[in-house]
Amino acid sequence: MSLRLGDTVPNFTQQSSEGEINFYDWAGDSWVILFSHPADYTPVCTTELGTVAKLKEEFAKRNVKPIALSVDDVESHKGWIGDINETQGTQVNYPILADPDRKVSDLYDMIHPNANNTLTVRSVFIIDPNKKLRLTLTYPASAGRNFDELLRVIDSLQLTDNYSVATPANWNDGDDVVVVPSIPTEQAREQFPKGVTEVKPYLRLTPQPNR
């Protein structure tokens, strides 16, 4: 199946490096970042999994649970985790799904035959507490992911869920934001007491409202 933004993501039960996981139960009321890997013992993935372990507190501050997937089995994952901990100077502190039967890979359309018909691509899924898909990114196997960018997008999603704003290009937490076009400027000035700067009638900026 092909998942689109706003779709309810499918549930699954699968083994992981931390035991059997029912995805919906494990996610609970948290946001989730699910990211896949082509195989165990691959160099780029080793750096990515270590990076996510080091960012665990940043994800936790945002009520986000990270979970990885690789098509190899649990025993392979456990050996690989030892290498990750050793080479990346960290401790893997989140589950890695085992997917030797490709069940989750197929559910989430992680295998792209024209890239490689046996291995998962580097897919990223950000899923909200309602189990709705909010972002997908797919990287080629040769390009490591930028997890600072993924944290930035999560900040944007959580901000814009709660306020009538959008985030402009290269926005970072604390920067000015865009007032959504559906709000007239006079109403915006009342709604955003920190001030509204009208660059164009359709482009209005205001300080980030939750700062």
Q: Is the dihedral of CA 30, 22, 16, 44 positive or negative?
A: negative
> What's the CATH number for 163-206?
3.30.1020.10
Query: Which residues have CB under 8 Å from 184's CB, separation 6+?
Result: none
CA–CA dist 122, 147 (Å, integer):
13
Every domain of the chain with CATH number 3.40.30.10 lies at: 13-145
Q: How far apart are alpha carbons 86 and 96 in whole angstroms?
A: 17
**Options 3.40.30.10, 3.30.420.40, 3.40.50.10300, 3.30.1390.20; which CATH number does 13-145 get?**
3.40.30.10
- pLDDT at residue 121, as a whole number: 58
pLDDT number for residue 139: 86
Environment class of residue 169 by beta-carbon count within 10 Å: exposed (0-12), middle (13-18) or buried (19+)? exposed
pLDDT at 113 > cutoff 80: no
Q: Residue 1's pLDDT is what?
A: 56
Q: What is the mean pLDDT of residues 2-30?
A: 96
Please write the tens of the pLDDT for every residue from 141-181. Answer: 788 999 999 999 999 999 999 999 999 999 999 999 999 99
Beta bridge partners of residue 12, listed in sequence order: none
Q: Is the dihedral of CA 42, 106, 52, 176 positive or negative?
A: positive
Q: What is the mean pLDDT of the chain?
A: 92
User: What percent helix, strand, coil does the chain show, rounded to 5?
Assistant: 30, 25, 45
CA atoms of 46 and 106, how far apart (whole Å): 23
The predicted structure's pLDDT at residue 122: 74
3-state secondary structure 33-72: EEEEECCCCCHHHHHHHHHHHHCHHHHHHCCEEEEEEECC
Please tell me the pTM assigned to this model.
Answer: 0.92
For the chain, where do the domains classified as CATH 3.30.1020.10 start and end?
A: 163-206
Residue in 32, 33, 34, 45 annotated catalytic: 45
Active-site residue, 151 included: no
Q: What is the C-alpha to C-alpha distance for residues 87 and 148, in angstroms, rounded to an integer?
A: 21
Checking if the pLDDT of 117 tops 60, the result is no
